[in-house]
């Protein structure tokens, strides 16, 4: 009798471990796919910015994917930060950020999934930050 209960509990344990393993593998592949997609999108945005912006250097900063809450920025799913060094533009930084945002909407696949993007315009005399949430300058 004890051996029957022992084999049943062993089978249940093996089944639980197998199900846990399958769920873990599926979750791991999903996370890997999300990270790869996010990296591809960031590289595409950076390339598009380099092609359409008259800047000395463009760097991608921290990027966040997943639900985030900020008192100043509210709730967002994807946040991207870009630093644009020594840019040459005649309009204001807000107009330049809006122009770049419009270009990114047209040229970058899956750009519409980005909820929040921040452009840091840095030069010798000025440092300006422009935040865009869902296509609207904040």
What class has domain 41-137? alpha beta
Distances from the Cα of 58 to the Cα of 43, 46, 69, 117, angstroms: 11, 7, 27, 14
pTM above 0.85, yes or no: no
| 3 pLDDT more than 70 | no
DSSP bridge partners of 85: 57, 122
Q: Model confidence at 4, in pLDDT bands (50, 70, 90)?
A: low
Beta carbons of 93 and 131 less than 8 angstroms apart: no
Give me the residue spans of the domains in the chain: 41-137
25 token code pair: 């593998």
List, for residues 48-93, the tens digit of each pLDDT value. Answer: 888 888 888 888 877 777 777 777 777 777 788 888 888 877 778 8
What does the DSSP 8-state code read for residue 119? Answer: E
CA angle 26, 28, 32 (to 5 degrees): 120
| CA gap 70, 15 in Å, rounded | 42
Q: From the CB of residue 47, how many other CB atoms can be counted at a distance below 10 Å?
A: 13
């Amino acid at each position: 009798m004890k051996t029957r209960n022992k084999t049943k509990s062993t089978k249940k344990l093996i089944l639980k471990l197998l199900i846990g393993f399958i769920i873990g593998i599926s979750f791991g592949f999903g996370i890997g796919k999300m990270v790869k997609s996010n990296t591809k999108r960031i590289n595409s945005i950076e390339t598009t910015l380099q092609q359409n912006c008259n800047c000395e250097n463009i760097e991608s900063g921290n990027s966040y994917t997943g639900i985030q809450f900020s008192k100043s920025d509210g709730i967002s799913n994807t946040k991207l930060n870009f630093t644009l060094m020594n840019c040459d533009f005649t309009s204001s930084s807000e107009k330049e950020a809006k122009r770049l945002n419009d270009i990114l909407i047209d040229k970058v696949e899956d750009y519409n999934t980005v909820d929040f993007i921040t452009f840091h315009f840095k030069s010798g005399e000025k440092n300006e930050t422009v935040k865009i949430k869902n296509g609207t300058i904040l």
